[in-house]
Amino acid sequence: MTQPASPPRPAILIVNALSRQGRKQFDVARDKLRAAGIELTDAVAIDRPGTLETVVAEAMAKKPAMLIVGGGDGSLSCAVDHLVGTDTIFAPLPLGTANSFARSLEIPLDLDGAIDVIANGVPRRIDLGMIDDDYYCNCAAIGLSTKIGGQIPPLLKKSLGRLGYLIWATWQSMKFKSFRLVVTHDGVREELDVLEVRIANGPYHGGVELVDAADPQSGEIVVQAVVGRSPAQLGWSWFTSWLRLRARKDTTVEYRGRAIGVETTPPQKVSIDGEVLARTPFTARIAAGAVQVMTPRTTG
């Protein structure tokens, strides 16, 4: 059997210093990467909102062998568009709150563990999700997620992390309403009342394993709908998923394929890896094997 390729040693490091852990971790990460044998040809800390995409584009213009991006899921998703169609290997450094993409790839969430994957792991081709023409890493969502990621007070998010999300979600759920979902797949059109929709390339959403069937190497996108009309049903679905109870399967309906049409009544905002960036209707697609990503080296 052919051995996996060794990771490239030269790399560019970009850290979103606006993320919850980014500012305090930038210097530490830079030093530890160098100590692990990574030759950083450049290292940039983003401290101004709205500049991450520009900095990533400038870095990719240099055609680095590896691009290391530190931040939350939104930062990683913003960066990944620029890696599609290139030979650059993507190396996520999870410094956010939920870190769902890292969880989906089984990348350790502690800094030392993540750096070990970057220095000693294996580059593998994985799929990306797409909302129309926008690539993303892990999961897009419709429903309560857009009122959490897009509206949570920054102080609550930074000071309490995932607990802050939970507090804000509880508050928002008190005034949340269900909506009508229309899914078109394989020429079949289906309608149902739903409370949340997840368009998943990986199993984790909000740091919780919610979409078991989603796999970033499957070649398919999974649309999972939490069915019902009462906010209490959404809470039950999250609760059973958090505890991995068998009852969680009874709260959702799933569709999977390479392209799935999604419409809602009324139109809804769409959160893409935690950032509200789109609206319904749209077509969810899979971009199979779109990027190479550093992943843990398996044993055995």
Please give the C-alpha separations between residue 203 and each of 98, 139, 178, 225, in angstroms, as whole numbers.
Answer: 13, 8, 23, 14
Is the residue at 90 inside a domain? yes
Considering the domain architecture, whether residues 61 and 152 belong to the same structural domain is answered as: no
Is the residue at 230 inside a domain? yes
Is 70 exceeded by the pLDDT of residue 3?
no
Considering the domain architecture, whether residues 160 and 26 belong to the same structural domain is answered as: no
Is the residue at 1 inside a domain? no
Beta-carbon contacts of 56 under 8 Å, excluding residues fewer than 6 positions away, are 14, 67, 69, 78, 79, 82
> 130 and 290 in contact (C-beta within 8 Å)?
no
pLDDT value of residue 2:
43
| DSSP secondary structure letters along 161-197 | THHHHHHHHHHHHTT---EEEEEEETTEEEEEEEEEE
Instruction: Tell me if residue 3 falls in helix, strand or coil.
Output: coil
Considering the domain architecture, whether residues 100 and 185 belong to the same structural domain is answered as: no
Average model confidence (pLDDT) across the chain: 88
Considering the domain architecture, whether residues 155 and 280 belong to the same structural domain is answered as: yes
Considering the domain architecture, whether residues 46 and 110 belong to the same structural domain is answered as: yes
Considering the domain architecture, whether residues 180 and 206 belong to the same structural domain is answered as: yes
What's the token pair of residue 73? 């899921």
Amino acid identity, position 17: A
Is the residue at 27 inside a domain? yes
Is the residue at 195 inside a domain? yes
Domain with 140 in it: what CATH number? Answer: 2.60.200.40
Structural domain count, the chain: 2
Considering the domain architecture, whether residues 27 and 73 belong to the same structural domain is answered as: yes
Considering the domain architecture, whether residues 148 and 73 belong to the same structural domain is answered as: no
pTM above 0.75, yes or no: yes
pLDDT value of residue 230:
85
Considering the domain architecture, whether residues 142 and 270 belong to the same structural domain is answered as: yes
- Segment 75-84 shows an average pLDDT of 95
Distance CA 195, CA 193 (A): 7
Is the residue at 203 inside a domain? yes
Considering the domain architecture, whether residues 120 and 25 belong to the same structural domain is answered as: yes
pLDDT value of residue 233:
85
Is the residue at 116 inside a domain? yes
pLDDT digits (tens, 9 = 90+) for 16-29: 987 556 667 899 99
pLDDT value of residue 34:
95
Domain with 41 in it: what CATH number? Answer: 3.40.50.10330
Beta bridge partners of 273: none
Considering the domain architecture, whether residues 100 and 40 belong to the same structural domain is answered as: yes
Q: Which domain holds residue 279?
A: 135-286
- Residue 105's Cβ-count burial label (10 Å; 0-12, 13-18, 19+) is buried
pLDDT value of residue 300:
38
